[in-house]
Each structure stands twice: as C-alpha cells, then as structure tokens.
Structure 1
Amino acid sequence: MESISFLGHMALSLASTSLPTEAAGTASEIVENSGVLALTINNVWMMIAIAMVFVMHLGFACVEAGFTQAKNTVNILFKNTITPAVGILSYAVVGFMIMYPSEWIMEGIFGFGVGLQAPESNGSLNLAYNEGYTYWTDFLFQAMFAATTATIVSGAVAERIKLTSYMIFTAIYVSFIYPIIGSWHWGGGFLAELGFYDFAGSTLVHAVGGWGALAGVIVLGPRMGKYTEGKVKDFAGASVPLTVIGVFLLWFGWFGFNGGSVLSANPASTSLVLVTTSLAAAAGAIGAFAATSFMLHKLDLGMVLNGILAGLVGITAGADLMNPYEAIVIGLFAGVAVVAAAIFIDRKLKLDDCVGAISVHLVGGIIGTLAVGLLGDKAGLSQLLVQLTGTGVVAVAAFGSSFAIFKVMDALRGIRVSPEHEKVGLDSHEHGMRGYTIVFDE
C-alpha cells in the first residue's frame, strides 16, 4: 500500500541523514518498525470498517421490517438475524477458500481448501499474507460482504417464503454462487484479466444479490391479493420511522463498505472514497425526490429512501475513480432510475418485490458498473464494453444459478408458506409471537 511505502522511505531517509555513524546499524530497525506501525494503522481501519459493514445488517433488518406488514415483523427480523450467522459460517467453511484460492489451500475437496487456514507466520505480525492487513482481518471483511449479498434477497421475497427455504438458499448462495462469481474478478479470475472493474461490489455484491432476488420473486409469485382485477394493491408497511432508521444505518455502514475497500488507511484514497460515497447518496435522494414529484405527483418518502440506497449502490463500483461532480451525476441518475424501475417492475411486470430490492440493488448495481466506462479515470469505449461484458456474464451466472436453486427447492419441498399462514401472517404460525404487542393492565 502507498502509506506503507511512504512511511518506509521516510524512515530510511531519516535513518541515513539524521543518525550518527554509530547508530547507522539501527536504520533497518527503524524501517521495520515503521512497517509494523503502518500495518497496524491499516489493520485497525479495516477492523473499524468491518464493524460498520456489520451494522448494515441491522439497517437491512429495520428497512425490511418497516416496509413490510406488521403481521410478518418477527419473521423479517428472524431472517435478518439468521442471515449473518449462516452467511459468515458458510463463507468460513467453504466460500472464502473458493473465492480466494492459493497454493497453500489447494488440498481440499474439488481443489479447494475447506475451513480457514492462515499461512505460516513465523511469528510475524504480517502473517506472511498481505502488507496492509492480516489474514484474519481480510477474511472477516470479505465475510461481511458475502452475508450482505444474501440479505438483499431477503427483502424481495418477504412475507411468503418459508424460513427454512430462505436459510437453505442463503447457505448455498454464500458457500458457492457468490464466491465463484467473486473469484472471477476479486480472486484474480478471467474478469480481472479482461480488465473488468468493480471497486467495492456494484456488480459482485449488489447485482449478484439483485439477480438472486429477481429469481426468487419470479419463482415465488406475488403475495396474495397483490394483483387482482387489473389493479395493484400497496400493502401498508409496519413502521415508517423504522425504515428511515434503517436507511441511515445503511448509509453509515457504507462508509465502511466503500471506505474499507481501499484496503488500507491511505488518507488520500480513503477520504476521496468517503466523499464520493456520501455525495452519491445525497444526490440519489434528490434524484428520487424529483422523479416521484414528476411520476407519482407526490412526495413519496419510501422512494426517496430507496433513492439514497440506489445512489450508494451506484457509486460503489467506481467510488475511487470518480471526482465529486461525477459522483453527484451517478447518484442523481440512480435516484431517478430506482423510481422508474420500481414503478415498471411493480405495475408493468407485476413482480412483487416487497422492499424495492431489485430496483435498488440490481438496477443500481448495473448503473454503477457501467458508469465506470462512462465517467471517472477509466472512462472510454473499450472499458465500457468490458463493463458490459462483465455485467452480462454475471447476470447469466447469478440469475441462472438462483433460479435453479429456487426451482429445485420448490419441486422437492415447496418454498412458499400455505395460503392460510400467509393470510394470517408468518409471525403467529412460524414463530408463535408478534412483533408489535400492546398489553393493557387488567
């Protein structure tokens, strides 16, 4: 990382010019100590970013519980509680080794290692792994991304999927589908060799999750009463304040999601990424505000909140490549697009996405990925064609595999709850409790 190189050269310069002759032997020690200091600073920042991304699971839980009906609140919260648990374990046992294979983990099943295994450290803080952060920090940061991918599916298929079906899908997706696709770029695979660029996951996290959500919605079908007699029914969400809290938690967590993806505490790179991330989110809100005023003739808070998220998803692929004004353009476009996409998906395609996950993460992810070829340091026709190619390849792989998983599960065991359970609510039948309970003293 640049910060390590800078500290190392600075230390060497000071050692060669400022130290007396008898102390010259300590120059190498000074350089070594500066490297340890830089490693520690970078590693601490990465761990802070991990904590911020982890908080995003609470944000998703709040958004989904707020957008969906009160009778399914416990079910929503249960899914968002179990998702990081299943996701992190699945990624630890299988996924991480598939996504980042190397010569010291090649003795497992199908050529991949199974389970976490740090390289030989020889007592070094570096763990002979990476000059910017340790093996364990890298795993945990990547595991948070993997679990986030599955969470995107949760909201879209809410209120009618069996909990066990969702858990099985999550385990398979995080163990195999997400890491295999991720290895094509972040693991040094063919997309990386092609020149495809996705800084923090507009495609590899958000679009992959969005394609999974689309497949789930298609296989499940709409909620009962959603589309009847040519009309589209909007189900009242349980809590608008909870949704707002969730979106702000996600915005906060995105500073770790994108900022941590610098993979060091380099001040220039990290600060630029944080600025472009926040500007895109703000512009997403304004874009959605303008779009709802024009398309819906009302100030729709839910759409504006999704506009913020769309702006965040859109900037994620090129947050390190864009200047502030380009970030604003991406955010504005994503904010308008999420409103148009949500209306089209709901009213024209009649695909029942409870929280707008497809329009936010899939549409926003595609916009952000293609923006790398249109704006920023890599803009150009050749890069745009590469981005289009990567988007198409991931679309086929993510949607195809997700659709197959849902269809096979549906054929074997059924993935949808019974009509009576759906009508009464999943909380009572699957959990035996309600999310909102008022108790009056007798």
Structure 2
Amino acid sequence: MIQLAYSLDTFYFLMTGALVMWMGAGFAMLEAGLVRSKNTVEILTKNIALYAVACLMYLIAGYNIMYGPGLSSFIPGLSFFLGAEHTADAILKSGGSITHSKMADFFFQVVFVATATSIVSGAVAERMKLWSFLAFAAVMSLVIYPVGGYWHWGGGFLKGLGFVDFAGSGVVHLCGASAALAGVLLLGARKGKYGPDGRAKAIPGSNLPLATLGTFILWLGWFGFNGGSELMVSNIKEANAVSMVFVNTNTAAAGGLVAALLLAQFWFGKADLTMALNGALAGLVAITADPLSPSPVVSTLIGVIAGLIVVASIIFIDKAKIDDPVGALSVHGVTGTFGLLAAGLTNPDGSVLVQLTGIGAIFVWTFAASFATWMVLKKTVGIRVSEEDELAGVDLAECGLEAYPEFTRD
C-alpha cells in the first residue's frame, strides 16, 4: 500500500505541476493579446525565457533557500542544487510519512516561481528592455520569491503565526504584483498613455481572441495550481479534499467573471470583454488563499466580490497614473490581498490580524527587494527602451522580428 500511495501521489504532483507549467502559455497568450501588435514578439520572448530562467535559478539555490533549514524563522539558509532522491528503503521505512518524490516536489514548486515572475511581465510591458527584465527574473527566482516563500511554506515565522495561504494568493500572487509595482513606478508610463491634461487614454490590445484563449488556459491550469497544493490524493479524505478544491476554484472564477461583466455593463454601458477576463482571474487569485474551507456557495461569493473589486481597482490605478497594460497589479495584488483577508474569515483557524501581518511582510519584503534590484538595473544597464524604439515597437528594437509582418503595424 505504501508503494501504491507513494506512486499515486507522486504522479498527481507531476501532472498538476504540468498543468501549472501550462499556465505559462496562458500568461503568454493573455499578455500578447492585451499589448499592441508591435510589442507582441518581445512579450512572448519574455514569457518563455523567464520560465527557463526561473527554472535554472530555482535549481541553483532558490528551492533550497525556500525549503532548506533556516538560520532562524526569518532568515533562510543557503545551499546549492538538489540533494539525493529518497531511496526505496527510506520510503518503505517511513511508514507512509514520505508521500511523494523529492524531484516531483521540486518540479511542482519550480513552476510556481515561474508563475510569480510571469505576473511582472505584463505590468511592465511595451517599454522595458528585454535583458533587464530577464536579469530581474533571475534575482526574483533566486532570492526574492524564495525568501517570502520560506516564511510560510518553508516553515518560517508566518507558518508559526498560523498564516493561511493554501496555494499562494500571497506567496505567489501578491509577491508577483509587489515586484511588478516596484518596476512600474521606476519605469513610468507608456508614451501617449496620459494626455497633457493628465487623463488616461485607452490603448487597446491587438488580439482579444488570443487574450481570451490565454484566460481559458490559465483557468484550466489553476486546477493544478490549487488542486496540486493539497499535495495528496491517495486516500478517501484527500480525494474528497481535492474534489472540493477543484469545485471551489471553478465557482470562484465563474462568479468573478459574471460579476465583473455585470459591473462593466452598469459602469460603462458595455459588456467589456477585458474586464470579464480579469474578473475570472480575480476570482481565481482570491480563492487561491483557501479553496478548501469554504463551501461552493461561499467560494462563489468570494469570486463575485473579487470580480467587483478588480474592475474598480483597474480604473483607480489607471486614474492614479500607474500604467499597467494588463491589469496585473489589480488582478494579482489587490484581489490577492482580498483573498487572504477572506481566508482569515472563512478558515476555522484563520485570523484577520495574522493575515494582515502576512500581507504586510510579503509586500514590504518583495517591494523593497524588487525596488532595489530594479534601481540597480536602472542605474547600470537601464530598464527602459529609448523613446524612438518605444514608438516604433520593441519587437524590432529588441528582437528583430514582427509577430504579424503581413499587417501594417500600429
């Protein structure tokens, strides 16, 4: 029985990890659809390259920083590369306490760090230098994300306080949004985004079918993101728990989409597709903090509230002259924060005060470390392309290619 359970849980870990990896395609398609055609190749290059960079940096030391023995509950340790896999004798002698392969655990965790870094990509789109972004992605995957992850999932002080973050509304999504905010503030808005009077101008994306496909892919991948975070599926209790996580994840997304679409119709007089897409993602981000404790009805309500929040947040951030082409700050940061607070109320062991502590710790650390990293890059190699290259499109300037060469570029 031990061998069967170990094999089943390892296989489940690997397959859900593959679903999370597939979310990289979702981010790439979503962002490619929401930027202008002249910036498509660069956004695609960033998304696939950051995945590779994140995998390598997390392999070198990120995973060990996050899950290795720490110097204290605040300060993680430092070691390099992965240790040996569990031996068959160790697995059998564990009496079932070793539930899955160490390599499967690494694979599942590495696709999470890539997700956090993908959040940054969309927020800084259309005006950032490719190699500066990839340099930041390396630091993010090697140090910034693992330290915050150590505080909770690695057994650090947030875990000791009883912080609730089942699959990463804070560890992943708030972290990614905090890093993105630091970059956006130093980078500045896209040329032409704000007029002489300070009013924001809409800059439509080039391919809404692609953005919609990306959202569907992300929605699908989220079943691996949340479902895999249950870590086991090899007994009745865990199988039922995984099923509840899947249902709650799905209903939160559905509630978020419908709520955002209705609010957009009421607010703008039109059924705005981009708001609907972000509403679904907002519901997914919010329920990620705890997709197991609430009932499906409560999970739907969490998604509904997140969908309403994200529409208002996107408008507010735009009016504040913080240029975020894909709404990443609102989807991942604002609704991620809401989801963590909601978990403090819906989880039997939750505490709003502890949740606020975790939110503050993750935001302050990630924002400060990211701001410092972006600043170093800005002062050395620069982070923004020239005005001429930005107006022409970063595809040709950074990659020498066009995504749609048969069409006239906008």
Normalising to structure 2: TM-score of the pair?
0.94
Moved more, 119-128 or 278-287: 119-128
What letter matches 1:153 in structure 2?
V
- Written as runs of structure 1 = structure 2, the 5 A alignment for 1:252-401 is 252-265=220-233, 266-347=238-319, 349-379=320-350, 383-401=351-369
What letter matches 1:375 in structure 2?
T
1:360, 1:150 → 2: CA distance? 14
SS at match of 1:215: helix
Answer yes or no: is 1:242 the counterpart of 2:210. yes
SS at match of 1:184: helix
Deviating runs (4+, > 6 A) in structure 1?
126-129
Return the index of the structure with the highest Cα Rg: 1
Contact 2:65/2:77 (8 A) holds in 1: no
Residue 429 of structure 1 and its aligned partner are, at CA, apart by 1.5
Q: What whole-Å deviation, never above 9, does each CA across 1:265-308 have from its counterpart, x for those lacking one?
A: 12111000000000000000011012212222211000000000
Contact 2:119/2:177 (8 A) holds in 1: yes
2:142 corresponding residue in structure 1 = 175
Moved more, 305-314 or 281-290: 281-290
Contact 2:158/2:358 (8 A) holds in 1: yes
Contact 1:323/1:376 (8 A) holds in 2: no
- RCO higher in structure (CA 8 A, sep ≥6): 2
Contact 1:64/1:155 (8 A) holds in 2: yes
SS at match of 2:367: helix
2:55 corresponding residue in structure 1 = 88
Contact 1:277/1:319 (8 A) holds in 2: yes
Residue 127 of structure 1 and its aligned partner are, at CA, apart by 10
Answer yes or no: is 1:423 the counterpart of 2:391. yes
1:196, 1:432 → 2: CA distance? 47
Answer yes or no: is 1:118 the counterpart of 2:84. yes
Give unpaired runs (5+ residues) of structure 1.
Answer: 1-33
SS at match of 1:232: coil
1:120, 1:80 → 2: CA distance? 33
- Written as runs of structure 1 = structure 2, the 5 A alignment for 1:101-180 is 101-102=68-69, 111-118=77-84, 121=87, 131-180=98-147
1:21 corresponding residue in structure 2 = none
What letter matches 2:206 in structure 1?
A
What letter matches 1:175 in structure 2?
L
What letter matches 1:157 in structure 2?
V
Answer yes or no: is 1:61 the counterpart of 2:61. no
Contact 1:119/1:127 (8 A) holds in 2: no
Answer yes or no: is 1:198 the counterpart of 2:175. no
Contact 2:165/2:290 (8 A) holds in 1: yes
SS at match of 1:298: coil
Q: What whole-Å deviation, never above 9, does each CA across 1:211-239 have from its counterpart, x for those lacking one?
A: 01111111000000111122211112110
Aligned-residue RMSD, C-alpha: 1.9
1:45, 1:262 → 2: CA distance? 10
Contact 1:215/1:406 (8 A) holds in 2: yes
Residues 294 and 144 of structure 1: CA distance in aligned 2, closer, same or farther (over 3 Å) = same
Residue 123 of structure 1 and its aligned partner are, at CA, apart by 5.1
Normalising to structure 1: TM-score of the pair?
0.87
SS at match of 2:152: coil
Contact 1:63/1:245 (8 A) holds in 2: yes
Residues 50 and 119 of structure 1: CA distance in aligned 2, closer, same or farther (over 3 Å) = closer
1:20 corresponding residue in structure 2 = none
Residues 35 and 302 of structure 1: CA distance in aligned 2, closer, same or farther (over 3 Å) = same
2:371 corresponding residue in structure 1 = 403
Contact 2:190/2:323 (8 A) holds in 1: yes
Contact 1:226/1:233 (8 A) holds in 2: yes
Contact 1:74/1:435 (8 A) holds in 2: yes
2:44 corresponding residue in structure 1 = 77
Residue 72 of structure 1 and its aligned partner are, at CA, apart by 0.6
Contact 1:372/1:378 (8 A) holds in 2: no
What letter matches 1:83 in structure 2?
L
Q: What whole-Å deviation, never above 9, does each CA across 1:181-219 have from its counterpart, x for those lacking one?
A: 110010000001111110000000000001011111110
Contact 1:121/1:127 (8 A) holds in 2: no
Residues 253 and 111 of structure 1: CA distance in aligned 2, closer, same or farther (over 3 Å) = closer
SS at match of 2:146: helix
Residues 311 and 126 of structure 1: CA distance in aligned 2, closer, same or farther (over 3 Å) = farther
Contact 1:126/1:133 (8 A) holds in 2: no
Residue 42 of structure 1 and its aligned partner are, at CA, apart by 1.1
Q: What whole-Å deviation, never above 9, does each CA across 1:344-395 have from its counterpart, x for those lacking one?
A: 0002x1100010000000011101100011224335xxx1110011111111
